[in-house]
Structure 1
Amino acid sequence: MGVSGRGDCCSQFVKYGMFISNLIIFLGGAVVFVISLITLVDRNFLSELLGTNLFSGSVYALLITSAAVCLLAFFGCFGAVKEIKFMLLTYFILLFLIFVTMLIGGILGYVFREKVELTMKQEMYSSIKLYGTRRQVTTAWDITQTRLKCCGVESFRNWQGKLPFSCCQEIDRDGIQRKPCQDNPTLSNTYNNGCYEVGAAFIRDRANVIGASGIIVALLMIFGMVFSCIFFNMIE
């Protein structure tokens, strides 16, 4: 079994083209995997305040499919070297399925960010009442306010009782020393931005990056499918 006599030059071009396209697909899949992983870890402190798992679901979908893309890229290269039609056909089918999944995941990352922003505001107003009574909610608010340098949902006035220590402006970089703000909060000793505005921007920026990277890699996979089809037809 081998390449038919349609031209060694043409067959070598297609084979190298498949190698290069798979290398690019592998690198793209690796980039999406890293970005997805960082996004999941980085937004973990906001998980209790999002109020929905839609955004997380799209990121998980991209994480899994990007890992599968990296493995499939090796599979495609091996099929090209061995010139096995069955492997090339299997590669094309799997690549197409992952292409659809990754493209949908990338699009959902954009679509669901609006839903996330809406539910996040509602969840923040609901969870702020549970501060101090539920450990997970308390930790989420403290980490969010410290990390994003914000206070309350829209301002420190959302805290109708005593302000959390995490609302006070930091004096040192470690956040150990802060301005006294809990008993007499003002714009000069508390974080001025609300956590909804800052948190929504935080999610939106990451949704843009991961959505764009997923769509770009999905489009790059088209080249892998094209070369696999051409090479499949050239093998006797």
Structure 2
Amino acid sequence: MAFGSRMDGCGNFMKYGLFIINLIIFIGAVVIVGLTIWTIVDKSFANELLGTNLYSGAIYVLLITGILISLVSCFGCFGAIKEVRCMLMTYFIVIFIVFVTMLLGGILGYVFREKVGITMRNAMVSSIPSYGRVKSVTNAWDETQHRLQCCGIYSYRDWQNNIPDSCCKEPVEGKRQRCQLMFEQQNSFTLYQRGCLNVTVDFVKDHAAVIGGAGIGVACLMIVGMIFSIALFKLIE
């Protein structure tokens, strides 16, 4: 019995429902790709201070899966409209593999989120003696302190007698004053008072939550897409 004459209303619902779901999945995947690229390019200045590769690993996993999902969702839309069984089955298998991969990336991100405070503190403590001698560490500290408006691990006192200029607030006239002099004078108006540990931990957790939330939303749609693809596969003869 042909698809058009068997459960026509239900079949059309599955057909166009799968098309719409895949369209939404495509948009969600593009959002995930955009968020991960934004994180990699603009928000990776503190990587040297994280003390682990779990965060960057999870971001790259989500980037790759986001690209794959955007391609597979187009494949699913075409398979639904053309009512091709082999395409629907291929779509289901690929989307399931991508779903598992995304789940792995989410688990990595969650594990890192729980350990970020401890690993970052250890990395910051061990990196302070390398400031000024190792370029990557120096740049990471300067960029983190300047962009997050913080200084040291818990306060500017962590730098002792070698406080960086990046701990200085920008004065009104636009010329940065020497932080060492400000440190000696204990000037709270020109030195950032907050320590970088808690500020950076909150920063990383907030961005991980945004990307994780987008990933969870797309993953839920992927489950619905798999259900619809199997149902449509069984209706097509």
TM-score over 0.5 for the pair: yes
Q: Is the 8 A contact 2:171 2:190 kept in 1?
A: no
Structure 1 distance, partners of 2:172, 2:220, is: 46
Q: Is the 8 A contact 2:32 2:66 kept in 1?
A: yes
Q: Report the identity percentage.
A: 53
Q: Is the 8 A contact 1:162 1:183 kept in 2?
A: no
Structure 2 distance, partners of 1:21, 1:184, is: 58
Q: Which residue in 2 is equivalent to 1:44?
A: 44
Q: Which residue in 2 is equivalent to 1:98?
A: 98
Q: What letter is aligned with 2:23?
A: L
- Structure 2 vs 1, CA of residues 172 and 62 (structure 1 numbering), >3 Å: closer, same or farther? farther
Q: Is the 8 A contact 1:25 1:220 kept in 2?
A: yes
Within the candidate set 174, 177, 180, 2:175 is matched to: 177
Structure 1 distance, partners of 2:116, 2:108, is: 11
Shift of the alpha carbon at 1:3? 2.1
Structure 1 distance, partners of 2:162, 2:54, is: 33
Q: Is the 8 A contact 1:2 1:235 kept in 2?
A: yes
Q: Is the 8 A contact 1:106 1:210 kept in 2?
A: no
SS at match of 1:219: helix
- Verify: 1:211 aligned to 2:225, yes or no: no
Q: Deviations over 1:169-214 (max 9, x none)?
A: 11259xx523443124122221000111111111010111111211
- Verify: 1:84 aligned to 2:73, yes or no: no
Shift of the alpha carbon at 1:113? 1.4
The worse-fitting range, judged by mean Cα deviation, of 130-139 and 106-115 is 106-115
Structure 1 distance, partners of 2:124, 2:2, is: 63
Structure 2 distance, partners of 1:24, 1:49, is: 37
Q: Is the 8 A contact 2:11 2:235 kept in 1?
A: yes
Q: Which residue in 2 is equivalent to 1:197?
A: 198
Q: Is the 8 A contact 2:50 2:119 kept in 1?
A: yes
Structure 1 distance, partners of 2:146, 2:172, is: 12
Shift of the alpha carbon at 1:77? 1.1
- Verify: 1:125 aligned to 2:130, yes or no: no
Q: Which residue in 1 is equivalent to 2:161?
A: 161
Structure 1 distance, partners of 2:101, 2:131, is: 39
Q: Deviations over 1:118-167 (max 9, x none)?
A: 11111111111111111111111111111111111111111122311111
Q: What letter is aligned with 2:142?
A: D
Q: Is the 8 A contact 2:156 2:167 kept in 1?
A: yes
SS at match of 1:90: helix
Shift of the alpha carbon at 1:217? 0.9
Q: Is the 8 A contact 2:25 2:70 kept in 1?
A: yes
Structure 2 distance, partners of 1:184, 1:112, is: 36
The worse-fitting range, judged by mean Cα deviation, of 189-198 and 76-85 is 76-85
Normalised by the size of structure 1, how large is the TM-score? 0.93
Q: Which residue in 1 is equivalent to 2:11?
A: 11
Q: Which residue in 2 is equivalent to 1:22?
A: 22
Q: What letter is aligned with 2:137?
A: V
Q: Which residue in 2 is equivalent to 1:57?
A: 57
Structure 2 distance, partners of 1:160, 1:220, is: 52
SS at match of 1:52: coil
Q: What letter is aligned with 1:87?
A: M
Structure 1 distance, partners of 2:229, 2:175, is: 61
- Find runs of 4+ consecutive structure 1 residues off by over 4 angstroms: none
Q: What letter is aligned with 2:229?
A: S
SS at match of 2:161: coil
Q: Deviations over 1:9-55 (max 9, x none)?
A: 32222111011110111111111111111122233210111110001
SS at match of 1:151: coil
